[in-house]
Structure 1
C-alpha cells in the first residue's frame, strides 16, 4: 500500500511537471517511480519509467543527468540479474562523468558487478580505484568487497585491514547518524522557535491588517457618504433646474401659441386687405380706362379732329397735292389736346418729366388709333419716317 501510494504521488508529480515542461523535474519523478516499482518487484513498470527517464535525459543533453540515468539503468539490470547489461550501463555512466564529478560510486558499482561475475582481478582494480573518496557509502561497499576478494585469495592480513576500515566507516556512519539525530533535534527546536516567532509576527501582522482594514472601511464609508451626499445635492440641483426649464418651456410655448394665433389673424387680415387693394386697383384701372375713352370721345367731337378726319379721306395718289395741318391748325391741335387730356398729361409728366409737348401730342394721337401717315399730317409732314424716328426717341425718353 505504501509503494502504491508513493507511485501515485510520483506519477501525479510527473503529470504536473509535464504540463509546465520541467524536464529535469520529470527525470527526478520518473527515476523515483522506477525505484519504487523495482522495490515493489514490478519490473515491467520500473523498466517503463527507466526508459522515460533515459529519454528525458537524452533530450536535455546534460552529461550529469545522463550519467545518473545510466547508473540507475545499471542498478535496474543488476537487481534483475542481468550483470552484463548492468556492467554495460555502469561503464557508460562512468564515461559521461565530468572532471569535477566524484566517480567513486560508479567505480565501486563496476567493481561489485565484476565481483558478482567472478572476475576478481577486474573487480579489485575498480574497487581499489574507488577508495579515493569521502563518500562513506561507496567506501564501505568497496572495503567490504575487497575484504571478500582478499579472503578468497588467502591474503588474510589485507582482508583484515579492509574489514577493519569497513568497520570504521560503518562506525562513522552510525556516529554521523547519531550526530544527525542530535542535529535534527536542534533543528527541530530552532524550527519550533522560529515557528512560534513567526506565529507571533503573523498575529501582530494580522492585527495590523485587521486594524488597517477597519480604518480603510471607515474611510470608505465616509467617502461613500460624501459621494452619496454630493449625488443627492446634485440630484436636487438637477431637479430644480429641470423644473425651472419646464416653466420656461411652458412660458415660451404659451408665447409661441399666442404669436401663431396673432400671425394667423394678421394673415387673414392681410389676405382681406390684399383682396380689397386688388379690387381698388382694378377699379382705378377701369376708371382710368373710362376717363381715357371719354377723353377720346370728347377729342373726336372737336373741330380740329374733324379737320384731321377730312385729311385722312383725301386722295393720296399725288403726294404734291396732299394737304397737311398748317401751323395755326397745329397750334389749335395742341390747345385742344392739352385742354381735353389735361389730367392725363399732368400724370404723364410726373412719371416721365423728359417728355416734350410734341411727344405728348404724339402719344394722344396714337392713343386714338390714328395711323402713322395721319399723325405725320398733324405735324405738317407727309413722311412717315419722321414718325418712326419720333417713336424711337420717345421710347428712349420714357425708358431712361
Structure 2
C-alpha cells in the first residue's frame, strides 16, 4: 500500500511539474507544431517507424507547446511506440498529461487509458492495467465507430482475463472483439486467443475448431509467419488430444512456412523433435531436430527448454554422461533466470529443492556407471573446500581489520563533532554579545569568520572521513562497479539487488549517523529512502550511481526525488 501511495504521489508531482512548465511557456504558442502532428497522425497507422522518428525529433521539452498539443503528442508517440514494439516507459509522463487533459469520457481518453494500461502491464502492475482497460471499454462500448480502438481494448482486456485464469470472461471478451476485426490477420489472432480460452476451460473440441478457423484466416492473409504460428498452435492442441501424427505433420508444415529470420525456428524444431521421439522415430532424425532447437533457441527460456529436451533424449539413449551435462546447464540457466525474474522466495526455494534433488538422483545414477568421473569430482570438491576455507579465513581477517579501522574513524568523527559543537557554541556566544560590544565589533567579526572557516574545514574533514569509511565497505565496491557500466540498453544494466540495498542502507546510516540527524531536522517529513539519497549525495555519488543503488536503470526517479526534497525544504509541499 505504501508503494502504491508513493507511486501515485510521484505521478501527481510529475504531472504538476509538467503542467506548470507548459503554463509558463504556452504564451509563445508554436504554430509549426500542428502540421507536424497532423503528418505524424497520418503516418502512425501505415508507417509507424516513420511516425516514431518524426515524433522523437520534435522538441516537446523546449517550450511553446500548449497542454492540448502535449496531450495529443503523447497519444501519438504512445501509438507509434506500441506499433514499433518498443517499451512504453518513456511515454509515462506524457500519458499522465493526456489523462488529465482528456478528462471527459471521449475516445481520446479511452486511447490514453489503453496505452497507460499497457505501460502498467509492462511494469508488472496487472491489477492497475486491468482497471484501466475496463475503464477504457466502459467509455467505448456505447459509442459508435472506433472499431480499431475497441478491438485493441477488448484484446488487451481478454489477455488480462486469460492470464488471470478467468477463461469464461476472457472468451466473452474475445467473442465481442471478433465483431470489430477488419482484417484476416486480426481475426486469426483473436480466434487463436479464443481457442486458448476454450481449450483451457475444458471445451477442447471447440478449441480445436476455433484454431482451425484461425488457421484459415491466416492462410487468407498470406502472412507466412502468422500461418506458421497458427499451424504450430493447432499441432499442440492435436498433441493434447493424442493425435500425434497430425501434430507432427502440422509442425513440419509450420517450419516450412516460417521466414528465415524468424526467432521461433528453435521452438518449432524442438517441438517436432519431442513429437518424433514420442512417436518412435529414428534417433538420428530426433537428434537432428532437437539439435536445431538448441542451436536456434530464442531467449533464456527457449534455451532452457531445449536443454531439457536434449537431456531427456540422451537419457532415453542411455548416454547418461551427456544427459547430466545438459541437465546441469539447464539448471544453471534456470538459476540465472530466477535471479532476474520477480519470483517469490517460496517459489525459488521450491524450484531449487526440486532441481537439486533431480540433479542428485541423476548424478548418483551416472556415478554407478562412470566411477572414474566420480573420483575426479570428489577431488575437485576437496580442492574447492580447501580454497573456500582459505578464502573464508582471509575474509574474517579483513573483517577484523575493517571493524578496528571503523572504530578508530568513528572515534575521530566523534572528536571532530565535539570540536564542531564547541566552536558552534562559542560562535553563538560571540554573536549574542555582538550587539553590546560595538567597539569590539570588527574584532569579533574577524573571530567569527575564523571560527566559521574552522567549522567548514572540520565539516569537510568529517565528510572526507565519512566517504573514506564508506569506501572501505564491500557494498561500495559493488556500487563502483555498477557506475562503470557503459551499456545504453537499460534492460541490460545491472542494479543492486534487495540484499545489497539493505546492506547499503545499514552501512550508510551507520557511517552518516550524525548527518542523518541533521537531515531529519531539515526535512522533518523525509522517508528512509529520502535520507539514504541525501547521505549518498553527501558521500559524493553521482545521480546515475545512486539510481543503480535504488534499483533503477535510469536517473528519472532520482531526479523526481531530488525535486520533491527541494519542494519539502522550501515549504511548497
Normalised to the residue count of structure 1, the TM-score between the two structures is: 0.43
- The structure whose RCO (Cα within 8 Å, separation 6+) is larger is 1
Bigger Rg over Cα? 1
Normalised to the residue count of structure 2, the TM-score between the two structures is: 0.31
Q: Which has the higher helix share?
A: 1
